[in-house]
Amino acid sequence: MNQEKLYLYPMWIRLWHLINAVLCLILMITGISMQFSSKQVTIVQFDSAVTIHNLSGIILIINYVFFFIGNFITSNGRYYQFSSSGLFYRLKKQVIYYTHGVLNKETPPFPINKDKKFNPLQQFTYVIVMYIFVPIILISGLALLYPETIPVSIMYVSGLHFIDFLHILSGFIVSMFMFIHIYFCTIGKSPLSNFKSIINGYHETY
């Protein structure tokens, strides 16, 4: 069967993806360093970690606005739209493929094409992460940068503590997503084909 290449990742998507990945990695390292910094163990000096974390967060906000506008004015936004009808069945089918079908070299139940860049599980998780948890991280991070804007009390607890908890929880979820995302990127035509796709823009299939 002849190999086919689909151009699915235009330059702006690849540029956004690269910047986003680097910033997320920096934010993870500096965030962990601030959270668990001590005299005995320090990943990054606390003052430096705070400065780098804040600066990276501001750049991430700009990058996210770029992503949001890009999806709004280009056809890329359609890949994040899905119907709730039959969603559970589609998710279940994809999970079975990832946990069983891949090991038996079965054909993917939802092959990638020009109209469907993501399988149902990818699409669902990307929407949850990019349109719910990332905005929560950015808004809560901005609030922590200007703590005077945070209400004294939220849901009968300290507003500052509530926002801080929300920021850390969302950061943890997005960090876990990032590692899982990297792993699933190895499931393709070859372990490196999906990584090459985000470099040259072409998805390799058969």
How many domains does one find in the chain? 1
The pLDDT assigned to 42 comes to: 77
What pLDDT is stored for residue 206 in this prediction? 56
Tell which phi-psi region holds residue 82, choosing left (phi > 0), alpha (psi between -120 and 50) or beta: beta
Rounded CA gap, 25 and 178, in Å?
9
pLDDT at 121: 96
Sign of the torsion angle spanned by Cα atoms 136, 137, 139, 140: positive
Dihedral of alpha carbons 9, 11, 17, 22, sign: positive
pLDDT on residue 1: 42
Domain that holds residue 71: 4-205
Instruction: Please give, one letter per residue, the 3-state secondary structure of 85-154.
Output: CCHHHHHHHHHHHHHHHCCCCCCCCCCCCCCCCCCHHHHHHHHHHHHHHHHHHHHHHHHHHCHHHCCCEE
What residues of the chain score a pLDDT lower than 50?
1-2
The pLDDT of residue 103: 87
Domain CATH for 33: 1.20.950.20
**Cα–Cα distance for residue pair 53/55, rounded to 1 Å:** 6
C-alpha angle with apex 194: 190 to 198, nearest 5 degrees? 150
pLDDT at residue 38 in the model: 72
State which amino acid sits at residue 179: F
pLDDT digits (tens, 9 = 90+) for 75-84: 999 999 999 9
pLDDT tens digit sequence for 66-77:
999 999 999 999
Given this model, what pLDDT does residue 8 score? Answer: 93
